[in-house]
Structure 1
Amino acid sequence: MSKNSLYQYGTIGSLMAGAMDGTDTINDFLKHGDFGIGTMDGVDGELVVLDGQAFKMSAKGYVVHLEGEEKLPYGAIAHFHANHTFTIQDELDNEAVEALILDKMRSKNLFAGVKISGTFKKMHTRAMPKQEPPYIRFSEVEQPNFYADEIKGSIVGFYSPALFHGTSVAGFHIHFISDDQKFGGHVLDYVVEDVTVEIQDYANLIQDFPKEAEFLDTEFDYSNIAEEISLSE
C-alpha cells in the first residue's frame, strides 16, 4: 500500500446500521499502517493504533494492549508521515484547534491524518460498551463518558471530506490515548495546553469490505444513517 494512502476496512454507515461483527484481525489490519482508529467486535470499545501498537479503550474505563488475534468490524489506518507540523502553547478548545488544522491542510476535499500530542488541560471521551446479537442501532447504545484534567497523551484520527459521510465520518473523527496507556476513548471535546499538531494529506483511499456471507446478504437500513452518524460521532 502506498505510504500516501488511507486504508479503511468496513464503513461507518454499515457499522451504524448493524454490521458489528468483527471480521478482520488486528494483525491483518496492522499490515496497512501504524496509525489508526476503529472499534472492536460487537463495537467493544474504541480502537487506537499509535506507532504500530494497537490499544482498546474499554467502556469500563481501562485500556487494553491488543495482541493481534482480536477482530474488528471497522477501522481506518495509514502509514503516518506528517506533511505539516505546528505547535500550540496556549489554551485552545477543540473548535479552535480544528480551525487551525483546516487552515493548514492541503484541501478539505482530501482525507487527512491528524495527530495531536502533548499536554491537554481537559479531555472528554466516551467508549462503546460491547453489544451482543441481535444488534440494536449504534445510535441507541448508551455510552459512558470519561473526563481527565492535565493529561499527557495523543489524539489520533482522520479528517474526511463531506462527500464521504457514510463511508466515514465527515469532518474529524478522533480518538485519544494517554502516555501512560491508562485513559482514552472516542474524543468528544478537549482543551489543549502545550501540544504538537501533525497533519498528513492522503492522495488515495483504499476501501475494503467484509467477505462473509452475513455481511454480503444483509439488506441494511440506511434511511437515516447520515443523521445517526452525526448524532453518534
Structure 2
Amino acid sequence: MRPSLPIAFCFVATQVLATQAAFAQSDRDILFQLSTIDALLAGVYQPLATLDEVLEHGDFGLGTFAGLDGELVLIDGEVYKAAADGTVRRMPGDTATPFISLTWFDADERLQPPPDQDYAAFKTWLEERLPSPNLTYAVRVDGQFAKVRYRSVPAQKPPYRPLKEVAKEQTYFDSENIAGTLIGFWCPSYVKGLNVPSFHLHFLSDDRKSAGHLLDFTLTEGEVTLDPTTGWTLELPMDKAFLRANLGADRAKALHAVEQGEQ
C-alpha cells in the first residue's frame, strides 16, 4: 500500500496547478497585435509574418494582407480574405500579413441588442453596457441584417502610398436581408496610434460569400458576445519599412476617414 502524501505537499501541488490554470486563462485574454495602425496608415504593407506564425496567438480577429490585398477576417480559427473584386476565400497558413489583431475568443458576456438598430445606434447602446471604458473587448455579433454596407481595398505595389490615398480606390458593397457575423474589437481612446479607438469591425456572411470592412448596417435581430482582454502583446517588426516609417505624425483624421469609408 502506497503511503499517503503529506498534507503540506498536497496543498503546494494544488496551488501550483491553480496557478498554472490561472496563467493559461490569462494567456487566452491577451490581445496579440502585429505592427501598429499608424504604420499601416503610413503605408507599411510589407509581409511581416505568416498566418501560421500569428495564429499561435488566437482564433478571432481582423487585419489585412501583404500589399494591402483585401480585408482579413479571422473567426473560429479560420482566415478569410475579402478581396476588392467581391470574392471571399479561405487563406492558407503561408499567407503573409503586415497587420493583424487577434485573441482567443471566449464569450464572457452575452447581450441582446434592440431590433432594427443601425450602426450608430448600436455603438451608443453597446458602449453604455461595457463593464469598463478602460479595457479592450473582442466583439462578436451574430445576427440577421436588413442591410449591411462594407468595403475592401485593392492590392498595392511598391512604392506604397499612405492608406488614406489608397482608400480612394476602395470598393463598396451593399447586401440586404443577409445572415452573418461582425468580428472585431472595441478599444479605449488611449490606444491611439497603436490600434483603432472605439469600434473596428469586419463583416462575414454565414455562407462565406460576402465580407469586408464594416461601414454601416441595420440589425434585424441578433446576439452580441463580448470577451474582455486583460493585456496586450505588441510585436514590432524589425523590417526596414517599419523602422524607417515616420510614425510621429498625428494620423487621427486620416484614420477616421479610412474607418468611415470617406474618400
User: Is 1:226–2:261 an aligned residue pair?
Assistant: no
Per the alignment, in what secondary structure is the counterpart of residue 2 of structure 1? helix
Residues 125-136 of structure 1: pairs in structure 2 closer than 5 A: 125-136=150-161
Which residue in 2 is equivalent to 1:29? 54
User: Is 1:44–2:69 an aligned residue pair?
Assistant: yes
Offset of residue 18 of structure 1:
1.4
User: Is 1:85–2:103 an aligned residue pair?
Assistant: no
Which residue in 1 is equivalent to 2:7? none
Contact 2:44 2:245 in 1 (8 A): no
Which residue in 2 is equivalent to 1:63? 88
Q: How big is each residue's C-alpha offset from its partner over 1:88-121, in whole Å with a ceiling of 9 and x where there is no partner?
A: 3611111221222212212111111100011111
Which residue in 1 is equivalent to 2:18? none
Q: Which has the higher strand share?
A: 1
Amino acid at match of 1:168: N
Structure 1: which 5+ residue stretches go unaligned?
none
Contact 2:44 2:241 in 1 (8 A): no
Amino acid at match of 1:162: S
Q: How many residues align?
A: 232
Give TM-score scaled by structure 2 length. Answer: 0.85
Which residue in 2 is equivalent to 1:175? 202
- Give the alignment partner of residue 114 of structure 1, picking from 116, 119, 139: 139
- Give the alignment partner of residue 209 of structure 1, picking from 224, 228, 236: 236
Contact 1:39 1:47 in 2 (8 A): yes
Amino acid at match of 2:58: G
Contact 2:37 2:99 in 1 (8 A): yes
Per the alignment, in what secondary structure is the counterpart of residue 128 of structure 2? helix
Contact 2:39 2:242 in 1 (8 A): no
Which residue in 2 is equivalent to 1:163? 190
Q: How big is each residue's C-alpha offset from its partner over 1:103-151, in whole Å with a ceiling of 9 and x where there is no partner?
A: 2212111111100011111100000111110011100112110000011
CA distance in 2, matches of 1:150, 1:41: 32
- The percentage of aligned residue pairs carrying the same residue is 33
Q: Which stretches of structure 1, 4 residues or longer, exceed 6 Å deviation after superposition?
A: none
- Give the alignment partner of residue 221 of structure 2, picking from 194, 205, 225: 194
Query: Which one is further off, 206-215 or 159-168?
Result: 206-215
CA distance in 2, matches of 1:117, 1:162: 26
Contact 1:84 1:104 in 2 (8 A): no
Offset of residue 222 of structure 1:
4.1
Amino acid at match of 2:252: A
Structure 2: which 5+ residue stretches go unaligned?
1-25
Per the alignment, in what secondary structure is the counterpart of residue 112 of structure 2? strand
CA distance in 1, matches of 2:185, 2:229: 10
Contact 1:166 1:229 in 2 (8 A): no
Per the alignment, in what secondary structure is the counterpart of residue 158 of structure 1? strand
Q: Which has the higher helix share?
A: 2
Give TM-score scaled by structure 1 length. Answer: 0.96
CA distance in 1, matches of 2:135, 2:203: 23
CA distance in 2, matches of 1:43, 1:135: 9
Contact 1:48 1:55 in 2 (8 A): yes
- Give the alignment partner of residue 172 of structure 2, picking from 142, 145, 154: 145
